[in-house]
Amino acid sequence: MPTTAPQSRTAPLDANPNAESVAPMIEVAKDYEGLSIAARELLEEELHAPDDDRTRKSAEQAANREAVLRSLKERRTLSPGYYVRARYLFDLDRKMTVIQFGLSDVTPSEINGVLAIRQAKNKFLSDHPECPYCGALQMYSNVPQCRRCRKKFRGAE
């Protein structure tokens, strides 16, 4: 899968928008490595959302509210455009599984982007396997029991 070699995915390319010489902009739709990272981070964010919500709720009552909130891990490392595009590609991928698309219906960058997020999702699912009993995703691949239903996994002591 082709990738671009961006200089930075997070910092502004030029602090002065009126400057004469501007570094080339990253074309997010074609930065498949960046989109893969964004997809993985969105999936991690979704996995940890219930725990993060509980932490935020408990912080409301905590004396050290700010410290509790700072303990929440920031999972996003890229510019917002990457997450917008990754969400679009997740949605497109879902539609492609239900509706038959012709090659003329999607652009090459959409096809490559979908492939990038699928690869990220497959890696995510291998790192966070589903419980065979209730389907809950696990925080790690080698846990002895399900974090939701608490059933022990085969081979766990």
Q: Which DSSP string corresponds to 119-138? A: HHHHHHHHHSPBPTTT-PBP
Structure-block tokens of residue 99: 């509706």
Q: Report the alpha-carbon distance of residue 82 to residue 86 in Å, rounded.
A: 6
Q: Report the alpha-carbon distance of residue 28 to residue 6 in Å, rounded.
A: 10
What is the reported pLDDT for 15?
53
Sequence-ordered list of residues with C-beta below 8 angstroms from that of 58, at least 6 positions apart, any chain: 68
- Residue 91 burial by CB count (10 A; 0-12/13-18/19+): exposed, middle or buried? exposed
The model carries a pTM of: 0.76
The residues with which 137 forms a beta bridge, in sequence order, are 130
Going from the C-alpha of 115 to that of each of 92, 110, 112, the distances in angstroms are 11, 9, 5
Count the neighbouring beta carbons within 10 Å of the beta carbon of residue 139. 12
Q: Report whether 124 contacts 36 (CB < 8 A).
A: no
pLDDT tops 50 at residue 21: yes
pLDDT tier, 157 (very low <50, low <70, confident <90, very high otherwise): low
Q: Provide long-range contacts, Cβ within 8 A and 24+ apart, for 147-153.
A: none
**Nearest CA to 32 among 90, 114, 96?**
114
Structure-block tokens of residue 13: 């390319």
The model's pLDDT over 33-87, given as tens digits with 9 standing for 90+, comes to 999 999 999 999 999 988 888 888 888 888 888 888 888 778 899 999 999 999 9
